[in-house]
Amino acid sequence: MKKLYGFLIAAGLTFFCGLAQATGNVILTRGSDTLFVVAQAWAEAYDRVNPEVTVSVGGGGSGTGFDALLRGLVDIANASRRIDTYELERAARLGLRPVEHTVGYDALAVYVHKDNPLSSISFKQLEEIFGRDAKISQWTDLGVEVPGCKDQKIVRVGRQNSSGTYAYFRDAILTRSHRFDLGILDMLSSKDVVHLVEKTPCAIGYSGLAYATPKVKMMCVASDEKRSCTLPSVTSASNGSYPIARPLFMYANEMPRGVITDYIKWVLGQEGQCILLDKGYAPVRPIDCR
């Protein structure tokens, strides 16, 4: 059966869900755009490990993945946040029990244009940029002038509200307002956030570490203005020193098929975790990938 990778529309998911139940050789996954890069790499590598099993990967955000899992459209929801209370209540009403598997860790990076002279930022400053009734609207408010940014007005770039990255940033950073300000550019994927920041000297955005490019700068982040800042990296995500590091998850409904259990075990094993590390994420335990 021909391998299917990339984004699957709902009709396609429904079709292949039926096929998976009939043949037992298709694993459908969907959800976090943060995990999308490594999820694709896992799927491609697993083809060589077990050619009899097809792993299909879709994005759309963690919320989209949970919705698809609870609707029976996928076998695994990839997520960059934990399942929330509403989703658990919905699962209970449906007689489902989603089981959580921590598959890695990510540093949620704050990106600016490569020519931006600012090198560090605090949680308080980030909230005053992204939070409701934002107090910081220009780069000069932070003591810098950005080359190529004509009026020095900050262009804020974020994710849509179905994204786990959106929810994690809100909960970790917007502790006073608990809400994003109006006028933030909400992008459909983590990659889109970084791509827009690359092209926009005035921009600042947040996205996963794995999406970093030479055309953007990652900020050194401090949880408190009295504390020293830390740069995002695999090491700082692993040891917890980076203040906005987060776990990454796979969720499957209780009593999954054997092929699903085997796949998750492989992801958590040496080969799967080395692929995760190669893609810029931190593994769940110390591993030797030499």
Domains recognised in the chain with CATH numbers? 10-105+247-278 (3.40.190.10), 106-238 (3.40.190.10)
* H-helix segments, 2-139: 10-23, 36-49, 62-70, 85-93, 123-130
Please tell me the predicted confidence (pLDDT) of residue 12. Answer: 42
Beta bridge partners of 107: 245
Per residue in 82-106, pLDDT (tens digit) is: 999 999 999 999 999 999 999 999 9
Mean pLDDT of the chain: 90
pLDDT at 2 over 70: no
Per residue in 188-220, pLDDT (tens digit) is: 999 999 999 999 999 999 999 989 999 999 999
pLDDT at 18 over 80: no
Please tell me the predicted confidence (pLDDT) of residue 256. Answer: 62
Per residue in 233-253, pLDDT (tens digit) is: 999 998 889 999 999 999 999
**Greatest CA separation for the chain:** 62
Please tell me the predicted confidence (pLDDT) of residue 114. Answer: 97
Please tell me the predicted confidence (pLDDT) of residue 255. Answer: 66
Cβ distance 53 to 27 under 8 Å? yes
For residue 206, the SS3 value is strand
Task: Calculate mean pLDDT across residues 25-47.
Answer: 95
Per residue in 111-152, pLDDT (tens digit) is: 999 999 999 999 999 999 999 999 999 999 999 999 999 999
Q: Give the β-pairing of 185-187 and 155-159.
A: parallel
pLDDT at 24 over 90: no
